[in-house]
Amino acid sequence: MMSDDSTTRSEGSSGYVSSEGSFERKSHYIPERITRDGRDGFPVEPGRYRLAVSRACPWAHRTILTRHLLGLEDAISMAVAGPVHDEDSWTFDLDPGGVDPVLGIPRLKDAYDARPEGYPDSGITVPAFVDTTTGRVVTNDFHQMVKDLVTEWGDHHAPDAPDLWPEHLRDEIEEVSDLVYADVNNGVYRCGFAGSQEAYNEAFEQLFSRLDWLSERLADQRYLVGDQLTLADVRLWPTLVRFDAAYHGHFKCNRHKLTEMPVLWAYARDLWQTWDFGSTVDLEHVKAHYYATHRDINPTGVVPLGPDTSGWTTPHGRESLR
């Protein structure tokens, strides 16, 4: 049984549910980092590292967005796993012969197994940086990876790249991001994998209370923190873009659809259009993953045909906000 979209370990009604019935995410990640000074043995070096992702996964989507916004596509190549993994690993079944053309492996687990020191019990997760010179995973700490793309890879950013983590806003960015992570990013999973009615009710109320708070915050400002795009927006948006396709029905987050929350719907469309977030999205992969792999929630594995996505390119009307 496979449940979370970043890992091949079970996160359904058994392995990741507490005795009280609440979902508990395992969060032990590989601590090594790719840095300018190479202090962990992995210096920043264009062309050396490959970013392994799935387009289904919201945690991987953060790194895809950040790489895109900073113009790092030429410096960091990307391996895209298929949306439906097996019980042990994300697989590169989208590539010819089912083998990643750069890493030369069929399964991401092969790169994890190449680590002589092993890896944490969080499992075979995406995103992950793989060192192409050794074939081993360097890190899978999605939170640190995004910040390091901003701070450690600055010499290779595009000239017009936005400053996604400006020093004068960092405390507020992290404060807002922590709230969003607990109640929204992880909150949808707490709803979907709740093992009791009480745990579901609590997660549901916290999720929509935070979405209401976000709607109020964004009613008069274009971005979550300050007057510019930041990592706070990058962290929230992958959950919003998946909301109607997966979380509303599959995870029972059904007080409202995103398209029924006017401020958040306009905000999400703004980023899709203005910053080209839309080019990083594959909702068919999203639906295939959630509905076909979470068999404890969707035993038939039937994948829905909807929702209609044409509204994403309609005018958002947020240009005048600052």
How is the chain split among helix, strand and coil, in percent rounded to 5? 40, 10, 50
Where b means 16+ CB within 10 Å and e means fewer, 12-34 reads: bbeebbeeebbbeebeebbebbb
CA distance 79 to 54: 8
Q: Is 272 annotated as a binding residue?
A: no
Q: Are 281 and 271 in contact (CB under 8 A)?
A: no
Q: What DSSP state is assigned to residue 126?
A: S
Which residues, in sequence order, are bridge partners of residue 81?
54
Tell me the C-alpha to C-alpha distance, in Å, between residue 114 and each of 132, 252, 292: 11, 39, 29
Per this entry, what is the length of the chain? Answer: 322
From 16, 29, 49, 57, active-site residue: 57
Q: Which of 36, 128, 142 is nearest to 89 (CA)?
A: 128
57 is catalytic: yes
Q: Give the strand pairing for 77-81 and 49-54.
A: parallel
Element (H, E) at 12: none
CA atoms within 13 A on the CB side of 107: 14
Annotated catalytic residue, options 29, 119, 189, 247: 189
Asked about 223 being catalytic, the answer comes back as no
Catalytic amino acids?
57, 189
